[in-house]
Structure 1
Amino acid sequence: MAQHSSPTARPNWIAGGLSTIWLIIIGVPIISMIVWGLTTERAFRDAGPLAIPTVWTFDNVTEIIDRGFLGYYWNTAIITVASIALSLVLALPAAYAIVRSRSWLASASFRMFLLGLAIPAQAVIIPLYLIITEMGLYDTLIAVILPTVAFTLPLVILILSGALRDVPRDVYEAMTLDGAGSFRMLVNAVIPIARGSISAVCIFVGLNAWNSFIFPLIFIRSEENTVVTLGLRQFQQEFAVDIPGLMMAVLISAIPVFLLYLFARRWLIAGLAGAGGR
């Protein structure tokens, strides 16, 4: 019998060329940040940003520690973890009620949360400031956690509602016949099935909390509650900017975000695309 050889796939030069261009656009700034972060401020000013540094040093890392960035990282980590936990505690029951309930109140609540997607934080920052001040939360980490959760909650509920709608109705009916209540059904059936979207939500909220700038800028004043994004301003002087120190601080602050996205990007993309937990 004659064997038919499969046709050789032709390389897609256009896609390869565009991917290379995109890689250069993304890679050049990152490489520049690494190079600038490993040189001294004097060498950077003498040689300029386009020259290859002749002096390499890790003193910028020591300077970052001396400026108190470890405390900034700790505050940012607290805000990030608390925002993720509070978002899940509020969004999971809300999404479950929206999906399972047939009342008009659940439908109206879902539309109200969707309306929150159209409200930018900058538009309500003055009322938020007055509320935070009247509650006695100004210059505390809670003053950053609560607005962060509030402005991520609409999208979180939207993602989780889509994931819970993908849960087979047979699962709900089987657990109802077994005498399971709403809480047990949520914990034992819904959460394990929708764990992909829950992971995507955690990543989304974590990225927003870690990179938050406007809320810490408005609601935090003291040094002990400063976060990483505010700490970066220390490298900006009145008439100059310490570029090498700033680049090293940005690199170190981006490491947790990079690792989080690197190991969980599949869940993030799947969850935001509406793939649910399956």
Structure 2
Amino acid sequence: MEAVQANRRVRTRMASVQRPPVFWRVVGLFFGIVWLVVSFYPILYMLMTSLRSQQGFLVGNPWLPSTTSNLANYATVLQANFGHYFLNSLIVSVVTVLLVVLFSILFAFVVVRTDNRVVRIVFQVFLVGLALPIQAAIIPIYVMVSHLGLYDTLLGLILPSVAFGLPLTILILVNFIRDVPKELYEAMQLEGATDFQVLRHLVIPVTRPALVSVGIYDFVQAWNNFLFPLVLTQSDQSRVMPLAIVSFQGQYTINVPVIMAAVILSALPLILAYIFGRRYLLQGMLAGFGK
């Protein structure tokens, strides 16, 4: 009986030591709510504005919700060939992510599992790409894409996006794969597993958080990329969302609710990608840097 009471006293003391005072918990809750409002309100403002009429936006208070909803703004956006631009951006972004993740996981596995000097040199060359801004390489990229006959095509946007997405993705995956215990590799090798089987049944399942996080990051970068479409495309057939938003602003400069409806539709895939992959995002981006 005395042992039970002593155990309860120890647990009570530990709980009192671990739990912060009420004041600091209230302060943390307050700043958390403030940060939530600051982070979420821009999206809420765009949504509220997109549901207003032009007259309601000019006359009413733009910072408060409107009592009426106007879905005609979204109909106007969809009738302006918006679906074609959305599909182009989706193709470019999805193909870019698939290629970047595929090439990166293969090369990262080779870097970690082999002790070859050539592989190390190639890895260092990839890391140099982290210090190369897109603006500094846009002219050589334009020349190469033009000579390959890929100007004003979706493939001409995908290849440079893949090239600039590889360095950071490889770096993250290399550091993540290095944290996989060597005993797991040795156990699979003793069972007679090939390198491809090790990659498929061990590395890919273990590195799933990193794969999801870099996939979301590369998707956002490819979706929001403005410089490549501006320089490497010209016609409406190859136009993607960033250029479509700019042209849409020029066509509907006064009609702010219509522009906000276009922005909401263009940001929808990014919001959905974050919602479904948020639990892997932080874990994958920070994994592997502890060593």
Distance in 1 of aligned mates of 2:284 and 2:252: 45
Residues 237 and 206 (structure 1), Cα distance of their counterparts in 2 relative to 1, 3 Å cut: closer
SS of equivalent residue, structure 1 residue 167: coil
Partner of 1:32: 45
- Alignment of 1:203 onto 2:216: yes
| Counterpart selection for 1:10 from 19, 22, 42 | 22
The answer as to whether partners of 2:216 and 2:273 remain within 8 angstroms in 1 is: yes
Larger Rg: 2
Residue 248 of structure 2, aligned match among 197, 216, 235: 235
Is 1:222 the counterpart of 2:257? The answer is no
Q: State the AA in 1 paired with 2:159.
A: L
1:129 corresponds to: 142
Separation in structure 2 between the aligned mates of residue 253 and residue 239 of structure 1, nearest angstrom: 16
Q: Which of residues 52, 66, 73 is equivalent to 1:60?
A: 73
Letter in 1 for 2:246: R
Structure whose residues are more often helix by fraction? 2
Write the distance in 1 (CA, Å) between the matches of 2:275 and 2:95.
Answer: 22
Contact 2:172 2:288 (8 Å CA) reproduced: no
- Relative to structure 1, the CA distance from residue 16 to residue 150 in structure 2 (aligned partners, 3 Å threshold; closer, same or farther) is same
Give 1:51 shift: 6.7
Q: Which residue of 1 aligns with 2:115?
A: 102
Conserved 8 A contact 2:152-2:232: yes
Query: 1:167 aligned to 174, 180, 184, which one?
Result: 180
| Count of residue correspondences | 276
Amino acid in structure 2 at the alignment position of 1:222 = S
In the TM superposition, what whole-angstrom CA distance separates every residue of 1:16-54 from its partner, at most 9, and x where no partner exists? 332233223223322221121111223323446457656
Partner of residue 89, structure 1: 102
Structure 1 residues 81 and 52: alpha-carbon distance in aligned structure 2, compared to 1, 3 A threshold: closer
8 Å Cα contact 2:177-2:288 kept in structure 1: no
Which amino acid in the other structure matches residue 141 of structure 1?
L
**2:257 maps to 1:244:** yes
CA contact (8 A) 1:43 1:54 kept: no
- 181-190 or 253-262, larger mean C-alpha shift: 181-190
Runs of 5+ unmatched residues, structure 1: none
Contact between 1:203 and 1:260, CA under 8 Å: does it hold in 2? yes
CA shift, 1:273, in A, is 0.3
Flag the 1:174–1:26 CA change in 2: closer, same or farther, 3 A.
Answer: closer
The separation in 1 between residues aligned to 2:65 and 2:215, in whole angstroms, is 40
Percent of residue pairs bearing the same amino acid type: 35
In the other structure, the counterpart of 2:124 is: 111
CA contact (8 A) 1:235 1:243 kept: no
* Structure 1, 170-179 or 116-125: larger mean CA deviation: 170-179
- CA gap of 1:241–1:153, structure 2 versus 1, over 3 A, is farther
1:57-89, CA deviations, whole angstroms, 9 ceiling, x for partnerless residues?
A: 110110111011111111111111101111122
Q: So what's the TM-score if we normalise by structure 1?
A: 0.90
SS in 1 for 2:22: coil
TM-align CA RMSD: 2.3
Q: Does 1:140 align with 2:153?
A: yes
